[in-house]
Amino acid sequence: MVETVSVDVTLPWLAAPLQRALREQRSHALLVHGPSGVGQFELALGLAQGWLCEVESSPASPSPLRPCGRCAACHLVGARSHPDLLVLVPEALRAALGWEPDADADDSADKASKAKPSKDIKVESVRAAVAFAQTTSARGRGKAVVLHPAERMNGISANTLLKTLEEPPGNARFVLSSGAPDALLPTIRSRCQAITITLPETDIAIEWLRGHGVADPAVLLAAAGGQPQDALAWSREGIDAAQWSQLPALVRRGAAAGVSGWPLPRLIESLQKLCHDALCMAAGAAPRYFPVASLKGAARVVDGAATQPLHAWERELRRAARFAEHPWNAGLLAESLIEQGRSALDSVHSRA
């Protein structure tokens, strides 16, 4: 049931960044950041596993690769039961990250709110993590706390953590990960050594998606802006490469019924990408998210006025995105956004 624990097996593009980070780290607190959907959490967990890994050096291997994926400590991390590791993620994210509810130590404060999983990292949990970091290491390699996504801490939680990051207990290390480091308190950022994670090479990402059964992975990878975990999430939501490629034509026809099964936040994000690509095409640049063939009919536009409806659509989509989680009527909103898109696309098509 428990898979091989080494992160480089799960997400192949993390192997090199992980080894580099383990080599270059010089702080008790690290902040892994980069675009979402490329494995910040997995890299953070890999760092913690690297610290806790108990592989011994030998004459044959004077500086063994950590995490080894085979020692007792690595197996305990893989089984989510290493006594010196605390993983702090919002309840709402635990299942998605393969970290089941209540797997954390000392997280009883969250139990009262079972009805609605929280999307935040609560101050009670941060306090528990700080207390955890101050206890003695059970296996002698120190304590490790992984906190993800760090921007889900509110001001009180962040300030609670800040004191500990300033003066970390002797044998404790923290690794925060975030897809939105700008949303973190500057004081948190300044106390962490930054570990940057970038988009993986396309070939590696495509191969990984194919291994997960995604058909025509290059299309979905582009749809997700090169972020493989996001592309996989789309695929698991039932959006495939064919549907993606049909979206521009569908909006051109104003056929809202064709996307009635898409979750509204996903639909809005998709329309934003379509709008982006239409503006690229109008400016004579290559599209980023959609295959060129799917945008046929869009051409370079010299008349600036023709792109005004696209800019207006873009603003409307941005506004809608803010309320996408709690729309008053998702169906009507989707219809109206698609209708606006139909007419905006029309204006660049007809005058081209």
Range in contact with Zn ion (rule: CB under 5 A) among 47-55, 175-183, 309-317, 344-352: 47-55
Do 30 and 191 touch, CB atoms closer than 8 A? no
Q: Which of 15, 25, 35, 55 binds Zn ion (CB under 5 A)?
A: 55
Q: CB 119 → Zn ion: shortest distance, Å?
A: 33
Q: How many CB atoms lie within 10 A of CB 53?
A: 23
Q: Which residues contact 52 (CB under 8 A, 6 or more apart)?
A: 67, 73, 74, 77, 82, 84, 85, 139, 141, 142, 144
Question: Does the protein bind Zn ion through residue 5 (CB under 5 A)?
Answer: no
CB-based contact 194:217 (threshold 8 Å):
no
Rounded distance, CA 169 to CA 290, Å? 50
Decide: is 68 part of the binding site for Zn ion (CB under 5 A). yes
Interface of this chain with Zn ion, residues 196 to 215, rule: CB under 5 A: none
Using the minimum distance from each CB to Zn ion, give the nearer residue, 6 or 270: 6
Give the binding range for Zn ion (CB under 5 A) out of 31-39, 70-78, 233-241, 306-314.
70-78
Q: Which of 165, 167, 173 is nearest to 190 (CA)?
A: 165
Q: How far is the CB of 174 from Zn ion (least distance, A)?
A: 20
- Tell me which stretch binds Zn ion (CB under 5 A): 49-57, 216-224, 235-243, 329-337: 49-57
Nearer to Zn ion, 15 or 280 (CB): 15
List Cβ neighbours of 41 (8 Å cut-off, separation of 6 or more).
89, 97, 146, 148, 149, 177
- Specify the stretch interacting with Zn ion by CB under 5 A; choose among 71-79, 126-134, 178-186, 277-285: 71-79
CB 33 within 8 A of CB 195: yes
Contact status: 52 vs Zn ion (CB under 5 A):
no
68 vs 282, beta carbon nearer Zn ion: 68
The smaller minimum CB distance to Zn ion, of residues 3 and 182, is found at 3
Residue 203: CB minimum distance to Zn ion, A? 29
- Cβ distance to Zn ion smaller for residue 11 or 188: 11
Instruction: Please tell me the distance from the alpha carbon of residue 95 to that of residue 115, in angstroms, as a whole number.
Output: 15
Does residue 45 belong to the site contacting Zn ion (CB under 5 A)? no
CA atoms within 13 A on the CB side of 116: 2
CA 110 centroid distance within chain: 23
Applying CB under 5 A, among 32, 53, 165, 275 the residue interacting with Zn ion is: 53
The DSSP line for 65-131 is -SS-SSSHHHHHHHTT--TTEEEE--HHHHTTTT--TT-STT-GGGGGGTTS--SSB-HHHHHHHHH
Euclidean distance between CA atoms 120 and 110, whole angstroms: 11
Cα dihedral across residues 185, 190, 195, 196: positive or negative: positive
Shortest distance, CB of residue 55 to Zn ion, whole angstroms?
A: 5
Q: For residues 216 and 240, is the Cβ–Cβ distance under 8 A?
A: yes
Minimum distance between the CB of residue 49 and Zn ion, rounded to whole angstroms? 7
Q: Is 144 in the site for Zn ion (CB under 5 A)?
A: no
Chain position carrying tokens 């059964």: 213
CB within 8 Å of 158: residues ≥ 6 apart = 184, 185, 188
The region of 74-82, 83-91, 200-208, 318-326 touching Zn ion under the rule CB under 5 A is 74-82
Does residue 306 interact with Zn ion by CB under 5 A?
no
65 lies in the site for Zn ion, by CB under 5 A = no
Interface region with Zn ion, contact rule CB under 5 A, candidates 64-72, 106-114, 240-248, 338-346: 64-72
According to the binding rule CB under 5 A, does residue 71 interact with Zn ion? yes
Q: C-beta of 6: minimal distance to Zn ion in Å?
A: 8
Select from 13-21, 59-67, 213-221, 321-329 the region that touches Zn ion (CB under 5 A).
59-67
The amino acid occupying position 95 is A
Of 55 and 93, which CB lies nearer to Zn ion in the complex structure?
55
- What residue ranges bind Zn ion (CB under 5 A)? 53, 55, 67-68, 71, 74
